[in-house]
Amino acid sequence: MSSSTPTDLADILFRGRNADGGWGYYPGKSSRLEPTAWATLALHNTTSQDAAALRHWPSVHGLLLERAEGGMPNIAFHGLALLTMQACGVQHEAGNAKLVDGLQRVKGIKLPPNPNSRQDNTLQAWSWFPDTFSWVEPTAWSTLSLKKWAKTTGSHVNADRLDEAERMLINRSCRVGGWNYGNPDALGQELRPYVPTTAIALLAMQDRRTDPVIARSLDYLERYATSERTGTALALTLLALRTCGRPSSSVRAALIEQLPITMDLGNHMAIALAAYALSSEQGNHAFTL
Amino acid sequence: MRSRSSDLSRGLSRRQFLGAMSTPLLAAACGRRPYDPARFQVPALSPVGLFPAADYAADFEQIIGRGLRELGVDVRGRRVFLKPNMVEYESNTAINTHPLVVAGAALAFRAAGAAAVVVGEGPGHRRDIEYLLTGTGLYDHLREHRIRFVDLNHDDVRPVALKSRFTGLDALALPVELLQADFIVSMPKLKTHHWAGMTAGMKNFFGAVPGAVYGWPKNILHVKGIENSIIDLNATIRPHFSIVDGVTAMEGDGPIMGRPRALGMIAMGADLVAVDATCARVIGLDPHKMPYLEEAGRFLGNVEARRILHRGEPPSRYETTFDVVDLFKGIRLERS
């Protein structure tokens, strides 16, 4: 793959864009919030592509819906889209402040202790969709988007929510560092962290690097940075290591090497993520606090 | 240290967890059936084929093709959807349906006259399908044979009214490509399962529920009860056929943490309940003691051994006793 790779990736995204201005996960599929956010971010970084799809994306009670055609909100993707809109200077038609309010109003449900795990089920962070349990990825994107909002606008965000979310992420980390979807152990067995989820959680916790759990997780990510060789895992790892000031050149090289398979599989989210990671050499503007 | 199929979001012990899951099934057993019996018909007899495959060097196109012929399967002109079980990738384990079995099935259905064959899966923990496809090696087989793959976690979705209501849900958003198929084939790995006793053709449809809508893990299915969800998904999707990878199965703390166990068979049939019940008996579990199979036997298919016609090899050729976690030792078959 040549050094023009980000352009090649952008070409795929331009070709895959739907008439409504958004992107499906795959060519020919209907527009969804997550690939639309990543593609908007990737193309903005290279071509200042118009972000009309996000500006008019449907929402209910301040939460962006997962599908352009309706359905339920997805809180993880809502957080990602909010970060994208901040990075691209896009104002949602409802007002970005309303999306921030919507995010702060929802929280994962509380559950009683579970004897099969050490995790604290009373911590309430963010779930994938309203009225369910908190998991790592929605909590990480929500936490990062609120931190970024506070930092860039100077607006007040609910510090108690952020504190509880950070405690939840620390509580759910795996013994060796890092995170999987959100269960560090079960039935006496230590569970394995996943590289891409660890990268997302570290982006959210980049300002807490002195915490031993975060330091251990960053070490874990650096050690296993190229162990999951996929466009998504390598791109997220590249973003996280660069944001946290760790060496990342080997990850970049592995990502470029992996691109033919990522492009062949055709997932717009993975392609856009790779395009953004490869093109944001000066720092990860969207995700850096 | 390994990843595990664990969704500890209910705050219950495993015993409490299973007890809670069984409640709607018990209600059903008391006469309040959450489905319309007129919409379902259990066949009088259900053929189930067991075919030998000593290891993964076998010719699976030939084996599965033989099974399709002996079971009278006609897929001429139909769009066939193969749904393997891919959960997590770790080398030297028996977690996933072997890619050679999947590829062999695709070639066998093509040879049988299918208009199109696609493969699709929506893993419940790992949302990065590129990781599972390349890790398991399935990607290379798909490319070699030009077989299209559908990422069920990220496909377009359509709300579908559930045809039974064991979960209490009215509808689920399901992947359009799965719903558009003419002939849906469950292709599980045969494994013991620490929450459900056993996972085979029926449980495999958890992977049809899209993560982009419901998240990772697919918490809604666990909250509503694994057993209830298995039944509602099968009653609604109505898969047409099952091909079970029992060449190397998994025993013990499945579906992730168990041990590989050589069994040497491929199980096939159009009645998924009968195929699962047969697999259960082969590995020494009593299907009548697994609530989802017992309930499914009332309206989706046959559990009773006398209503299952065996094709290929007799079950006695493969009968053994798989290790199970302590909680499920009580569902072991009492062989005469």
pLDDT value at residue B241 = 98
Q: How far apart are CA A138 and CA A100, in angstroms?
A: 14
Q: Taking 60 as the threshold, does the pLDDT of residue B21 lie above it?
A: no
Q: Per-residue DSSP letters for B104-130?
A: HHHHHHHHTT-SEEEEEE--SS---HH
Residue B13 has its nearest CB partner, among A115, A228, A270, at A115
Write out pLDDT tens, residues B204-249: 999 999 999 999 998 888 889 999 999 999 999 999 999 999 999 9
Count the Cβ atoms, other than its own, within 10 Å of residue B325: 18
Q: Taking 60 as the threshold, does the pLDDT of residue B7 lie above it?
A: no
Q: Per-residue DSSP letters for A42-111?
A: HHHHHH----HHHHT--EETTEEEEETTEEEE-HHHHHHHHHHHHHHTPPPTT-HHHHHHHHHH--PBP-
Confidence of residue B1 (pLDDT cuts 50, 70, 90): very low
Identify whether the C-beta of residue A149 lies closer than 8 Å to the C-beta of residue A162: no
Confidence of residue A187 (pLDDT cuts 50, 70, 90): confident
Q: Taking 80 as the threshold, does the pLDDT of residue A2 lie above it?
A: no
For residue B147, what are the CA distances in angstroms to A25, B101, B106, B203?
Answer: 19, 14, 8, 24
Q: Taking 90 as the threshold, does the pLDDT of residue A189 lie above it?
A: no
Indicate yes or no: CB of A230 within 8 angstroms of CB of B216. no
Q: Is A189 on the interface with B (CB under 8 A)?
A: yes
Confidence of residue B18 (pLDDT cuts 50, 70, 90): very low
pTM of the model: 0.94
> Is B141 contained in some domain?
yes
Write out pLDDT tens, residues B243-292: 999 999 999 989 988 999 999 999 999 999 999 999 999 999 999 999 99
Pull the structure tokens for residue A220: 């874990």
What is the rounded (10 degree) CA torsion for A200, A203, A208, A211?
Answer: 40
User: Which of the residue ranges A106-110, A113-117, A223-227, B329-333 would you say has the lowest mean pLDDT?
Assistant: A113-117
pLDDT value at residue B293 = 98
The average pLDDT across B150-165 equals 98
Indicate yes or no: CB of B134 within 8 angstroms of CB of A261. yes
Identify whether the C-beta of residue B13 lies closer than 8 Å to the C-beta of residue A200: no
Q: How far apart are CA B295 and CA B303, in angstroms?
A: 9
Indicate yes or no: CB of B131 within 8 angstroms of CB of A228. yes
Q: How far apart are CA B21 and CA A278, in angstroms?
A: 47
Residue ranges of E strands in chain A: 59-60, 63-67, 70-73, 185-186, 189-190
The number of folded domains in chain B is 1
Mean pLDDT, chain A, rounded, equals 94
Write out pLDDT tens, residues A58-108: 999 999 999 999 889 999 999 999 999 999 999 999 999 999 999 999 999
| CA-based nearest residue to B8, from B125, B174, B152 | B125
191-220 of A, contacting B, C-beta below 8 A? 191-192, 194, 196
Architecture, CATH, for domain A5-279: Alpha/alpha barrel (1.50)
DSSP code of B45? -
Indicate yes or no: CB of A133 within 8 angstroms of CB of B173. no
Indicate yes or no: CB of A189 within 8 angstroms of CB of B223. no
pLDDT value at residue A188 = 80
User: Which of the residue ranges A92-96, A262-266, B17-21, B60-64 would you say has the lowest mean pLDDT?
Assistant: B17-21
Task: Calculate the CA A72 to chain-centre distance.
Answer: 19
Residue-range domain boundaries for chain A: 5-279
Q: How far apart are CA B99 and CA B95, in angstroms?
A: 12
Indicate yes or no: CB of B6 within 8 angstroms of CB of A29. no
Q: What is the CATH number of the domain that holds B193?
A: 3.40.50.11440
Percent of chain B with pLDDT over 70: 90
The average pLDDT across A46-61 equals 86
Write out pLDDT tens, residues A156-182: 999 999 999 999 999 999 999 999 999
What is the rounded (10 degree) CA torsion for A12, A16, A22, A23?
Answer: -80
Pull the structure tokens for residue B180: 């558009």
Confidence of residue B3 (pLDDT cuts 50, 70, 90): very low
Q: Return the exposure string of A268-277: e unless at least 16 CB atoms fall within 10 Å of the residue's CB, then b.
A: bbbbbbbbbb
Instruction: Kindly report each contact of residues A260-263 with a partner whose C-beta sits within 8 Å and lies 24 or more positions away, as own/partner.
Output: A260/A1, A261/A230, A261/A231, A261/B130, A261/B134, A261/B139, A262/A230, A262/A231, A262/A232, A262/B130, A263/A8, A263/A9, A263/A12
Helix axes A5-16, A268-279, angle to 10 degrees: 140
* Nearest residue of B to residue A137, measured between CA atoms: B216
The average pLDDT across A132-137 equals 96
pLDDT value at residue A48 = 63
Write out pLDDT tens, residues A223-272: 999 999 999 999 999 999 999 999 999 999 999 999 999 999 999 999 99
Chain B residues within 8 A of A261 when measuring between CB atoms: 130, 134, 139
Q: Is A29 on the interface with B (CB under 8 A)?
A: yes
Amino acid at position A210, single letter:
T
262-281 of A, contacting B, C-beta below 8 A? 262, 264-265, 267, 269-270
Q: How far apart are CA A288 and CA B9, in angstroms?
A: 31
pLDDT value at residue B222 = 83
The average pLDDT across B302-318 equals 98
Identify whether the C-beta of residue B305 lies closer than 8 Å to the C-beta of residue B229: no
Q: How many residues are recorded in chain B?
A: 336
Confidence of residue A51 (pLDDT cuts 50, 70, 90): confident
pLDDT value at residue B29 = 55
Q: Which domain holds residue B112?
A: 48-331
Q: How far apart are CA B302 and CA B310, in angstroms?
A: 13
* Nearest residue of A to residue B89, measured between CA atoms: A228
Write out pLDDT tens, residues B67-105: 999 999 999 999 999 999 999 898 889 999 999 999 999
Name beta bridge partners: A67.
A32, A70
pLDDT value at residue B37 = 95
35-94 of A, contacting B, C-beta below 8 A? 66-67, 71-72, 74, 76
pLDDT value at residue B221 = 87
Mean pLDDT, chain B, rounded, equals 92
Q: Taking 80 as the threshold, does the pLDDT of residue A219 lie above it?
A: yes
Chain B residues within 8 A of A229 when measuring between CB atoms: 134
Confidence of residue B12 (pLDDT cuts 50, 70, 90): very low
Pull the structure tokens for residue B51: 């075919």
* Nearest residue of B to residue A236, measured between CA atoms: B128
The average pLDDT across B50-72 equals 98
